[in-house]
Chain A
């Protein structure tokens, strides 16, 4: 085609000129590839005769020496194969603008492949260059066609596809090279792919513009050749990193729920968790009530107040004090029979909570202060020796608490001394009178007996059978409960006495909490009050 156009330039008619222009246009389009290939090989190929196959035709060219004047030398190009006769080829010249060089070339009309070609260049009849080559080894393909770059939808990926150059018989013998780079950057990466005309670029930056080129070459098994020129760059933009807002919202929501749940758990079990994480230092405070709070750690002082209960189990104390039995000894006249005298009584203890014996003994102590105490002791001893009284008072204790009562006769004598007994005196009446149902806190309200009566109190003994035989209706028994501030005297019926006797209580209950600790106890008492 090129030769035809060249021939046409020689025509002078206008029509032919038009044809020539068209021809030129055609040649330039085709020649772009041709010239670029020639220029490329001019640099790369070392042989004097540079040959390449474009399409199905072999083109061989050589560079014209510049020293030579531009008079056309007689160049002859001959080729032969398979030991046949040499054949000649028409020589043409081409001026390359880019490199400012002139080349002479020859295009073989019928190129034999898969056989060895012997080509020669003769200048003025003399051999200039010679070369043996196989046509299937010098393929110079056109660049791939229809290069397209598309986003695949996935992050950091681009789909690249193209079409192979128009060439028959060689579709499955091609190898491609894809070059891609960020737009504006010079650093590019290359991917090689065989036969296939599609490629997915991976590992790209999101939301970035990329430039992509492709070129092709025969794979080298059946056909060999040179790398084609790069295609024109095609641009593609990678999709932005997909951060689905729904997913973000869901993640935040779930995070909030988890936080709330954990907070709830922590708050509901904060005590348990605190105990586990920050356990309390054990203190023996519960074993020593009041040691640190009341006595500020002063163990001595605390000991002094808590003598009995230090080692024992704490026993709940009744807020309302039970009346502690108190034996009241009636003080008969000094000359009277001693049987009426009762001396001791044994404090009957309850098995469970009791008034402290000390309280009784405390009272007794107070009562003993008067000088009659000694006399009373003697009377007691006398009574002890008396067997009759012994039957009634079978068990006499050495420690006893008793209260002496004065009768009306001896009242005046005793009044001065037994000032404290005054309230009691007023309480006790003779057998005739009874004030059973009354209970008075103020003893003064009771009428004092005229003195005729004789106060006698029943001594409480510890009978073997632990019963309390009521003495008779003649005796009135008073239950005295001392709260420490006021004394509460309540008359008790004999029936109650019997009940109390079952509980081993005293007929007369009196409680005194002064000097509780001075009296030895037979058992354990709990201080109350």
Chain B
């Protein structure tokens, strides 16, 4: 028993160190990276439009809200935006992974896989900007989130459109308004 507690305490110490001694990443402030992701999301939409067969089943997905009100945005702080973006990215990740399971068309499947890896890269970018406030929560596939910041879509084309709008809007505005990048520019 004493050995066990000793091990646990050692593990905790290591976890704590791992949490605190993470070396800060260099901030990625170039928006051309995000533009690249945006283009690839648009490519998925194009492939989706041209897909004939094996293009995924009709399924409902919970996706983030994408609308941006500039007037409201000006009054919103960056952290609030960061939380919103982080939640939305995790939602999109989940939805795209679920959609990929039903897709048999290989170009579309490849495009979706590309989008998923892009979302992961965005997470890293946000981490570099020190904006990863909220940890990604792993939600069950079928459970409905209780957040008001979500909406429900019923098809893959809609899902892809939401992804595209989300990246172009909220994510981009957040990155352009990131304090780490503002410090660099000023």
Please give the residue numbers on chain A whose beta carbons come within 8 Å of chain B beta carbons, in ascending order: 56, 81-83, 110-116, 134, 136, 168-169, 172, 221-223
Question: CB-CB < 8 A to A81: which residues of B?
Answer: 67
Q: Are B70 and A56 in contact (CB under 8 A)?
A: yes
In the assembled complex, the Cα of A23 lies from the Cα of B172 at a distance in Å of 37
Among residues 56 to 88 in chain B, which have CB atoms less than 8 Å away from a CB atom of chain A? Answer: 65-71
Q: Are B68 and A113 in contact (CB under 8 A)?
A: yes
CB of B165 closer than 8 Å to a CB of A: yes
Once A56-B71, A113-B169, A116-B161 are accepted as A-B contacts, the answer to whether A172 and B66 lie under 8 Å apart by CB is no
In the assembled complex, the Cα of A81 lies from the Cα of B65 at a distance in Å of 11
Question: CB-CB < 8 A to A82: which residues of B?
Answer: 65-67, 151
In the assembled complex, the Cα of A113 lies from the Cα of B165 at a distance in Å of 9
CB of B26 closer than 8 Å to a CB of A: no
Question: CB-CB < 8 A to A172: which residues of B?
Answer: 31, 176
B169 nearest CB neighbor, chain A only: A114
Chain A min CB distance to B172 (Å)? 5
In the assembled complex, the Cα of A34 lies from the Cα of B88 at a distance in Å of 37
Once A136-B169, A169-B176, A221-B39 are accepted as A-B contacts, the answer to whether A112 and B68 lie under 8 Å apart by CB is yes
CB of B173 closer than 8 Å to a CB of A: yes
Question: CB-CB < 8 A to A222: which residues of B?
Answer: 35, 38, 168, 172
Question: CB-CB < 8 A to B67: which residues of A?
Answer: 81-82, 112-115
Question: CB-CB < 8 A to B151: which residues of A?
Answer: 82-83
Question: CB-CB < 8 A to A136: which residues of B?
Answer: 168-169
In the assembled complex, the Cα of A112 lies from the Cα of B70 at a distance in Å of 8
In the assembled complex, the Cα of A115 lies from the Cα of B88 at a distance in Å of 14
**What number of A-B contacts does a CB cutoff of 8 Å give?**
53
Q: Which 7 A-B pairs have the closest CB atoms?
A: A114-B169, A115-B67, A112-B67, A114-B165, A221-B35, A113-B68, A222-B168
User: Which one of B31, B35, B70 contacts A113 once the chains associate, using CB atoms below 8 Å?
Assistant: B70
Chain B min CB distance to A131 (Å)? 16
B34 nearest CB neighbor, chain A only: A222
Q: Are B69 and A134 in contact (CB under 8 A)?
A: no
A109 nearest CB neighbor, chain B only: B71
User: Which one of A110, A111, A134, A223 contacts B165 once the chains associate, using CB atoms below 8 Å?
Assistant: A134
A112 nearest CB neighbor, chain B only: B67
In the assembled complex, the Cα of A134 lies from the Cα of B35 at a distance in Å of 18
In the assembled complex, the Cα of A101 lies from the Cα of B65 at a distance in Å of 40
Chain B min CB distance to A376 (Å)? 139
Among residues 99 to 149 in chain B, which have CB atoms less than 8 Å away from a CB atom of chain A? Answer: none
Question: CB-CB < 8 A to B31: which residues of A?
Answer: 172
In the assembled complex, the Cα of A168 lies from the Cα of B177 at a distance in Å of 11
Once A82-B151, A114-B170, A221-B39 are accepted as A-B contacts, the answer to whether A168 and B165 lie under 8 Å apart by CB is no
Chain B min CB distance to A194 (Å)? 11
In the assembled complex, the Cα of A81 lies from the Cα of B67 at a distance in Å of 8
In the assembled complex, the Cα of A134 lies from the Cα of B67 at a distance in Å of 10
Once A136-B169, A169-B173 are accepted as A-B contacts, the answer to whether A114 and B35 lie under 8 Å apart by CB is no
Question: CB-CB < 8 A to A114: which residues of B?
Answer: 66-68, 165-166, 168-170
In the assembled complex, the Cα of A168 lies from the Cα of B35 at a distance in Å of 18
Q: Are B69 and A110 in contact (CB under 8 A)?
A: yes
A170 nearest CB neighbor, chain B only: B176
In the assembled complex, the Cα of A112 lies from the Cα of B65 at a distance in Å of 11
Q: Are A112 and B69 in contact (CB under 8 A)?
A: yes
Q: Are B39 and A168 in contact (CB under 8 A)?
A: no
B72 nearest CB neighbor, chain A only: A110
In the assembled complex, the Cα of A113 lies from the Cα of B67 at a distance in Å of 5
In the assembled complex, the Cα of A160 lies from the Cα of B167 at a distance in Å of 35
Chain B min CB distance to A233 (Å)? 33
In the assembled complex, the Cα of A462 lies from the Cα of B38 at a distance in Å of 135
Produce 1/0 per residue, B24-65, CB < 8 A to A: 000000010001001100000000000000000000000001
Q: Are B38 and A221 in contact (CB under 8 A)?
A: yes
Question: CB-CB < 8 A to B172: which residues of A?
Answer: 222
In the assembled complex, the Cα of A116 lies from the Cα of B165 at a distance in Å of 9
Chain A min CB distance to B165 (Å)? 4
- Of the A-B pairs whose beta carbons lie under 8 Å apart in the complex, a sample of 25, sorted by A's number, is A56-B71, A82-B66, A83-B151, A110-B69, A110-B71, A111-B69, A112-B67, A113-B67, A113-B68, A114-B66, A114-B67, A114-B68, A114-B165, A114-B168, A114-B169, A115-B67, A115-B169, A136-B168, A136-B169, A168-B70, A169-B70, A172-B31, A172-B176, A221-B38, A221-B39
B173 nearest CB neighbor, chain A only: A169
Question: CB-CB < 8 A to A168: which residues of B?
Answer: 70
Question: CB-CB < 8 A to B161: which residues of A?
Answer: 116
Chain A min CB distance to B5 (Å)? 52
Known: A83-B151, A114-B165, A114-B166. 5 other contacts (CB 8 A): A110-B71, A114-B67, A114-B68, A222-B168, A223-B168
Question: CB-CB < 8 A to A111: which residues of B?
Answer: 69
In the assembled complex, the Cα of A116 lies from the Cα of B166 at a distance in Å of 11
B177 nearest CB neighbor, chain A only: A169
Chain A min CB distance to B174 (Å)? 11
Chain B min CB distance to A190 (Å)? 24
Chain A min CB distance to B39 (Å)? 7
Question: CB-CB < 8 A to A56: which residues of B?
Answer: 70-71
Please indicate which of the listed interface residues B39, B66, B161 has the most CB atoms of chain A within 10 Å of its own CB. B66
Chain A min CB distance to B153 (Å)? 9
A116 nearest CB neighbor, chain B only: B161
In the assembled complex, the Cα of A136 lies from the Cα of B71 at a distance in Å of 15
In the assembled complex, the Cα of A168 lies from the Cα of B70 at a distance in Å of 9
Chain B min CB distance to A110 (Å)? 6
A223 nearest CB neighbor, chain B only: B168
In the assembled complex, the Cα of A116 lies from the Cα of B70 at a distance in Å of 16
In the assembled complex, the Cα of A213 lies from the Cα of B169 at a distance in Å of 32
Please indicate which of the listed interface residues A81, A82, A115, A134 has the most CB atoms of chain B within 10 Å of its own CB. A115
In the assembled complex, the Cα of A293 lies from the Cα of B38 at a distance in Å of 107
In the assembled complex, the Cα of A222 lies from the Cα of B166 at a distance in Å of 10
Produce 1/0 per residue, B148-184, CB < 8 A to A: 0001000000000100011011101100100000000
Chain B min CB distance to A80 (Å)? 11
In the assembled complex, the Cα of A421 lies from the Cα of B88 at a distance in Å of 158
